[in-house]
Structures are given as structure tokens and as C-alpha cells.
Structure 1
Amino acid sequence: MEYTMNALSRMMNVFISPQTTFEAERQKPMWLFPFVLYLILMVGWTVMVKPVLQQQQMEIAIEKMQERGMTQEQIDQAVEGMNKMGGVFMWISTFISQIIMFLIVSAVWLFVGNILAGGSLKFPHAMSVTAYSWLVVVVGLLIKAPIILSKQTINVHFSPAAFLSNEESFIYKLLSQFDLFNIWCFFIVTIGISALTGKKSKQIWPWTALLFLLYFVGASAMQSTFGR
């Protein structure tokens, strides 16, 4: 069956019929379009929540400086420097980090498809899996943006963490990773690798589930150690 679905249709279908999207991607990868859209939406989200994001990052930085025993004068000077360079640095670091993470995550899905699942997956196909699955995540961020602005905190989750009050605890950070949109992303990734390799989902999902779980634990540990 020949899939002639255009890029827009593929991006729309990934939310309602991901199998169809990835069948089309198998014949002709169009990973660049969803990735560019992801970057645009990510920029939009960052603009929307920038005041909250910067304030939270500033509070974390001040807390770390206090832990290192810096004087108030030194902290004030550092804060002034961050205020001058913070905006530019945030945009540059966000853009670069997104591209690096995109390539790393795509390499992970390539490893899953070819080595762990024993399929035949090309790197453009792996990038398709990453790009389309990330659309789900960024849409989730946009949905949360009004709540973030209302509550003045980045810690907004559609997960079991919403029922906990101690945002500093490891269990809170771990449960926050089990967000509705992260779980949705997991299913998109599993369906994508399955469709692109021709393997059954039952051969794919244990590996993707394991890697998602490892990421959740690692991200939670990093947040507990270096931030909020």
C-alpha cells in the first residue's frame, strides 16, 4: 500500500492514528517538519512561561550560591550578571540542547530498533520517531502553560505527583515523570519503532518501557541533586 500522506497530515495523524503516520514515514521519512514545528512550539512555550522559568532558575542558583558560602555581595553581583545575560543564554542553550538531545534520543531508538529488537531501522526513521513523539510532549507543555502562569510554578503535572505536597522529595520528582503526556509519548515511540521495523509491538514495548523508566529515575535523581 502506498502512503502519499503529506507532512501536515502526518503530524495531525500522530495524535489520532500514529500507526498510519509511521507507515508513511517508513516509505519516506519527513522528520524535519515535525522537529521544526516542535522547536517553534517550544519557543512559544518558553516565551509564555519565561517569567516563571527565570524566577525559578534564579531561586535555584541563589540557593546553590548560599550553600557554597558566598557573601550577599557576591550573590548580588552574580544575580546582576545573570539578569544581563540570562535571556540570551537561555535561548542559545535551549536551542543547542534541544538539537543535541534530539540526536541522542534518536540514536537510542536506533539502538532499540536494530540491536535490541533485531529489526532494520535507519537513522532518518529513528529521527522520525523522536520528532513525532516530541510533538505530544510539547503540546502537553502548551496545555499546562496557563496553569503554570496561574500558580507561578513550573511544577505542574498531570501525574500522581499532583496528589503530593512535598515538591522537594525524590518520590515527588519520580512520580511527576509519569505524566500523562510522557506516557502518551511512550506509546507513540513504541508504535513508531514497531511500524518502522515491521516488528510486533510486544517485541518493542519492554525495551522502550525499560528505557523510559531509566530516564525517569535518572532525571528525578538529577533534579534532586542539582535543582528543584
Structure 2
Amino acid sequence: MKQVLSFLNAWINIYLAPRQSFSVIKSEPEKHKVWLPLLLLLAASLTTGLLTADLTKDYQRELLMNSDKYSSEQKEEIAKRFEAPVNPAMIAMPVIGWSLISIAALAGIYLFVGNFFGGGQIRYWTMASIIAYVSLIDVLAAAIKTPLMLIQQNALIDTSLALIFPVRDLGNIWYQAAMQFDLFLVWKLILLIIAFQTFFGFSRKKSIALVLPVWLSFRLIAFLMLQLSS
């Protein structure tokens, strides 16, 4: 019960008082910190995935059908494939797999950056816990975006710099670039910088210098993948 209450305290404060939240996480036994936020993240991701499956399918179809990389015949084949009903198992498996792999990979990358380049000394499970708690921003994002998706019947709810564009143009390279600077992604960047200060004891300037290049690299990769798929 104490562990659950501690988690609830850290969860609420990750949004309101992140330094306090990270202090709570830092004081907990190392092996238990990652599981509760991970379970909450999986539950939120699965719920959103299942509720918006049809909308996501329509969005993916729109991306492919508007692409100049496919001929008319190929687009007809694509349209036929998207006519099949959504299989819940095919949604759940990628969501669970991606959540686990992404947290594990990000923990390894940021641990390497903090320990090797920054000269810090924390353990892998501590960094995995940091990434899991920072990822709870996605739970708030899902709570806001999912109802809007269902109301508007639209899988793409912009909370990024793409809002400055007068119309949604997924084929526009500048629109795609603006999409990478999402409010919730920037929030997670700020939390990671605070986490580096709290757990490693780095200065703000050093934390920014270590975290920001990695974050920008991920945004560049996401942008390039969007370019390849459109």
C-alpha cells in the first residue's frame, strides 16, 4: 500500500512538481520503481489504441493514398487491404511491444549519455524508472487527445507547431517538420533535463547539453520516417 501511495504521489507531481516527484522516485527501492508507471502507460496506450483503431486506420490510409510514391493500381490494392476489419490483437501486440522496447532502449541510450559523456554513476533500472515516469506525460496526452479524436472523428489531433499552418497538409515537408515539436514531446524533454539534474547532480546547462542533442536526433529520425512513409 505504501508503494502505491508513493507512486500516486510521484505520478501527480510529475505534472505539477517534477523535482519533488523525482526526489520521491530517487528515494524508492530501485527494482520496484519502473513497474507501476509502466503498467499505467500500457493501460492508457491500449485503451487509446483500441478506441481509435478505426480512426488510425483511416489516417494511415490517407497518408498512403495521398503519397506520390504509389501508382493508381498500387493505391487500389492499398485501399482493399484497409477494408479488412481491425483485429484487437493486432493492435495490442504492437502497443505493448513498442512501449516495452522504447522504454528499454531510451533508458539504455540516456544512461550511456549520462554515465559515459556526463561522467555520472547511476544504474540501468534507475534510468528505466526515469523514462517510465517521464512517459506518463503520454497518459495525460491520451486523456486529452482520445476524447477529441472520438468527437472529431479524426486520428490527428495537433498539439504541435503544425497548428500555425492554416490547413492540414500532411504532404508538406514544413508541416511534417512542425509536427515534431509537439507540446507533450517538449514537456518530456524538459522533464528529462530536470531528471538529469536530480539524479546525476548535473548543472542545468550540462543537463541541457547532454539531453537536447539526443532528443533532437529522435525528432529528426521521426521526421525522416514520416518522409519515407508519405
- Retained in 2: the 8 A contact 1:160–1:175? yes
Over 3 Å counting, the alpha-carbon distance change for 1:174 and 1:76 in structure 2 is: closer
Superposition TM-score, scaled by structure 2 size = 0.84
1:163 aligns with 2:176: no
3-state SS of 1:147 partner: helix
Over 3 Å counting, the alpha-carbon distance change for 1:71 and 1:158 in structure 2 is: closer
Percent same amino acid at aligned positions? 20
1:152 aligns with 2:153: yes
In structure 2, the residue matched to 1:88 is: 89
Over 3 Å counting, the alpha-carbon distance change for 1:152 and 1:168 in structure 2 is: farther
Find the aligned partners of 2:120 and 2:106 in 1 and give their Cα distance: 18
Q: Residue 48 of structure 1: CA displacement? A: 2.7
3-state SS of 1:126 partner: helix
In structure 2, the residue matched to 1:32 is: 35
- Retained in 1: the 8 A contact 2:65–2:75? no
Partner of residue 178 from structure 2, selected from 175, 193, 215: 175
Q: Residue 87 of structure 1: CA displacement? A: 3.3
- Retained in 2: the 8 A contact 1:190–1:205? yes
**How is 1:43-122 mapped onto 2 (pairs within 5 angstroms)?**
43-60=46-63, 67=70, 70=73, 75=78, 78-79=81-82, 83=84, 86-122=87-123
Over 3 Å counting, the alpha-carbon distance change for 1:63 and 1:91 in structure 2 is: farther
Post-superposition CA distance 1:88-112 (Å, at most 9, x none):
2222122112111111111111112
Find the aligned partners of 1:79 and 1:22 in 2 and give their Cα distance: 44
Post-superposition CA distance 1:35-60 (Å, at most 9, x none):
11111111122233222112223444
Find the aligned partners of 2:198 and 2:108 in 1 and give their Cα distance: 17
- Retained in 2: the 8 A contact 1:113–1:197? yes
In structure 1, the residue matched to 2:211 is: 208
- Retained in 2: the 8 A contact 1:109–1:193? no
Post-superposition CA distance 1:173-213 (Å, at most 9, x none):
22112111111111111111221112222211122111111
In structure 1, the residue matched to 2:139 is: 138
Matched residue type, 2:183 = L
Matched residue type, 1:94 = V
- 22-31 or 66-75, which moves further after superposition? 66-75
Over 3 Å counting, the alpha-carbon distance change for 1:204 and 1:72 in structure 2 is: closer
Partner of residue 220 from structure 2, selected from 211, 217, 228: 217
Query: Cα RMSD between the aligned structures?
Result: 2.6
Over 3 Å counting, the alpha-carbon distance change for 1:218 and 1:74 in structure 2 is: closer
Matched residue type, 1:124 = W
Find the aligned partners of 1:56 and 1:120 in 2 and give their Cα distance: 44
Matched residue type, 2:8 = L
Post-superposition CA distance 1:111-152 (Å, at most 9, x none):
122112211121111111111111112311320223223333
Q: Residue 85 of structure 1: CA displacement? A: 6.4
3-state SS of 2:159 partner: coil
3-state SS of 1:155 partner: coil
Q: Residue 68 of structure 1: CA displacement? A: 6.0
3-state SS of 2:135 partner: helix
Superposition TM-score, scaled by structure 1 size = 0.85
Count of matched residue pairs: 222
Over 3 Å counting, the alpha-carbon distance change for 1:119 and 1:168 in structure 2 is: same
Q: Residue 218 of structure 1: CA displacement? A: 1.4
Matched residue type, 1:151 = Q
Which runs of 5 or more residues in structure 2 are unaligned?
A: none
Q: Residue 78 of structure 1: CA displacement? A: 3.6
Find the aligned partners of 2:115 and 2:109 in 1 and give their Cα distance: 10
- 192-201 or 52-61, which moves further after superposition? 52-61
Find the aligned partners of 1:71 and 1:110 in 2 and give their Cα distance: 44
